[in-house]
Amino acid sequence: MHSRLFAIVRKEAREVLRDPIYLGLAIVVPVLVMSLLALGFVLDVKNLPVAFYDQDRSPLSREYMYSFTNSEYFRLVRMAGNASELDALIASGEARAAVIVPPDFSRRLTRGQPASVQVLVDGTFPSRALIASGYIAAIDAQFSARLVTAWLERRGMVTSVLQPVTVDGRVWFNPSLETKNSLVPGLLVISLMFYPSLLAALVVVREKERGTIFNLYCSPVSRWEVIVGKAVPYVGLAFFVYFLLFGLSVFVFDVRFVGNPFVLTVAALLYIVASIGLGLVISVFTTTEAAAMLVTFVALMTPSILFSGLMTPISSMEPSAQAISRLIPASYFMAMVRGVFLKGLGFRQYASDLLTLAGFALVVFTIATLRFRKRAG
């Protein structure tokens, strides 16, 4: 029985090894893609292009504008001459935010009255709009606090302390707040879902399309031997790619790594088995390679990016989205990868997540085995 399993493993492994272009691509592509994204993907919003329409043209209004342009978050695109010019700048995307300073700005403020400023933010990309409006709110509030302090001082009240409540922001786990520290481990998760499942998704369906599946139908191997035997070489290949990507993140991109590599490796192995299993399920259900490939893209890749917490923390999601994220192996592995890389957590914290991944792998392999019928049609 075991020799039959080994025979299938050997046959599959040989098939991969004898297509050096494919083998090379399967190894090089994840590495290249990860490098490109790690180098080029910046999530922080800085240098937001902002435009002003200053109707006041006073020293105070200029000071107000400097509080924008002196921060690293904004970059002045243009001083507009009228409001419709601002609208055009926002519509064309040249400016993502615009501020209109009213004519009575400095007059009201020096008299101790509130002055209104109009802020326009391009809402086409909501996350960018939120970030921009957050920075603007912070700048406006700080400017107001400075004005009030100066005003109270002028009226004879000695303000010993500048601001009664200050905020001391501390970033844990990623003190320098570098995008790469949060992004590169995330890419590792997406890559190890995507490539292994894609490789596996073609395995059975390819034999169906070429007709070689009939050799298996009339051979004495059992269903589980076919499924497991086909999975093993790809698990090995994906595991090798995992080591490459891990080494790349830690040694080349210098991502903060404070945890235990052994925990991560165990988690990665379970995760790879799960994603190979998912690929095999797709392969068993589809009839053409084109369909198998599209299913992998649409049904695996998209949810893994959207619901795993790569961009939005799962804790911010709505309950229904959180429920979906609990069904996806990528979210468990994402939590573990970030926990091990950045937070130094280990087996103690992640025992249940590891068990969940193992259970998931078992379930998908069972489905693949049961659905694989040794019968034509």
> Which residues in 183-202 contact another protein (CB under 8 A)?
183, 185, 194-195, 198-199, 202
- One-letter identity of residue 44: D
- One-letter identity of residue 119: V
- Per CB under 8 A, the list member of 209, 223, 239, 244 interacting with another protein is 209
Q: Which residue number, 349 or 366, has a Cβ lying nearer to another protein?
A: 349
- Per CB under 8 A, the list member of 66, 240, 297, 347 interacting with another protein is 297
- Per CB under 8 A, the list member of 8, 9, 48, 245 interacting with another protein is 48
Token pair 């694989």 is found at 372
If binding is defined by CB under 8 A, does position 85 make contact with another protein? no
Q: Read off the tokens for 284.
A: 């068993």
The Cα angle at residue 170 between residues 168 and 173, in degrees rounded to 5? 175
Q: Which residue number, 95 or 228, has a Cβ lying nearer to another protein?
A: 95
Rounded CA separation 188/170 (Å): 26
Question: CB-based contacts of 323: which residues, under 8 Å, 6+ apart?
Answer: none
The binding track of 224-263 with respect to another protein, each residue x by CB under 8 A or -, is: ----------------------------------------
173: left (phi over 0), alpha (psi -120 to 50) or beta: left
Q: Which residue number, 59 or 220, has a Cβ lying nearer to another protein?
A: 59
- Site residue total, another protein (CB under 8 A): 141
Q: Which residue number, 6 or 297, has a Cβ lying nearer to another protein?
A: 297
Q: Which of 341, 321, 371 is nearest to 187 (CA)?
A: 341
CA 283 to chain centre: 27
Q: Read off the tokens for 286.
A: 């589809």
Q: Residues 86 to 125: which contact another protein by CB under 8 A? A: 87, 90-93, 96, 108-125
Q: Read off the tokens for 214.
A: 């009939």
Q: Residues 306 to 365: which contact another protein by CB under 8 A? A: 306-307, 309-318, 320-321, 324, 335, 338-339, 342-343, 345, 349
Question: CB-based contacts of 29: which residues, under 8 Å, 6+ apart?
Answer: 195
Q: Smallest gap, in angstroms, from Cβ of residue 19 to another protein?
A: 7
Q: Which residue number, 5 or 129, has a Cβ lying nearer to another protein?
A: 129
Q: Smallest gap, in angstroms, from Cβ of residue 218 to another protein?
A: 23
If binding is defined by CB under 8 A, does position 17 make contact with another protein? no
Q: Which of 369, 80, 54, 34 is nearest to 228 (CA)?
A: 369
Q: Which residue number, 3 or 320, has a Cβ lying nearer to another protein?
A: 320
Could you tell me the CA-to-CA distances from 1 to 182, 214, 216 in Å, in that order?
Answer: 46, 20, 15
Rounded CA separation 347/353 (Å): 9
- Per CB under 8 A, the list member of 157, 218, 352, 376 interacting with another protein is 157
Q: Which residue number, 200 or 361, has a Cβ lying nearer to another protein?
A: 200
If binding is defined by CB under 8 A, does position 74 make contact with another protein? no
- Per CB under 8 A, the list member of 252, 299, 327, 355 interacting with another protein is 299
Q: Which of 127, 238, 254 is nearest to 185 (CA)?
A: 254
If binding is defined by CB under 8 A, does position 288 make contact with another protein? yes
Neighbours of 283 (CB within 10 A): 28
Q: Smallest gap, in angstroms, from Cβ of residue 171 to another protein?
A: 4
Q: Smallest gap, in angstroms, from Cβ of residue 284 to another protein?
A: 11
Dmax over Cα atoms in the chain, in whole Å?
A: 98
